[in-house]
Amino acid sequence: MRKTLHCAACDAPLTRALTIRSGKDPAVSEPVHEDGRPLTEPGEAFKAWEPIERSYGDSPAPLEFTPQYWLNPEDLTEAVRLTRDHRRLSGCCGLA
């Protein structure tokens, strides 16, 4: 399946068309985390159904949600950038 990921808030395209590999598919293995290297090859994304981070305190960790799309930074469009409002997180519209 090829899919372009879009911002949920403003619908800006965040990636070029990607081949999505799902973590629910038993034939697909989770990408190996190597320091300083992308999780996937260009043009591919991994749809994770387990969060990359878990919180064991009273509030959730920033990356404690599913599904997550793990992708290569080369696949991002120019819509993905740091926002000028540093109180907000990075994203195309500053809300992501």
Q: Is 7 exposed, middle or buried (0-12, 13-18, 19+ CB in 10 A)?
A: middle
Residue 96 above 50 pLDDT? no
CA distance 4 to 42: 13
Q: Is the pTM of this model over 0.85?
A: no
Tens-place pLDDT, residues 12-28:
899 999 999 999 999 99
Residue 49 above 90 pLDDT? yes
Q: What is the pLDDT of residue 89?
A: 58
CA angle at residue 62 from 69 to 49, to 5 degrees? 35
Q: Which residue has the tokens 């997180």?
A: 89
Compute the mean pLDDT over every residue in the chain, rounded to the nearest whole number: 84
pLDDT, greater one: 79 or 19 = 19
* DSSP β-bridge partners for residue 19: 2, 44
SS3 content of the chain, % helix, strand, coil (to 5): 5, 20, 75
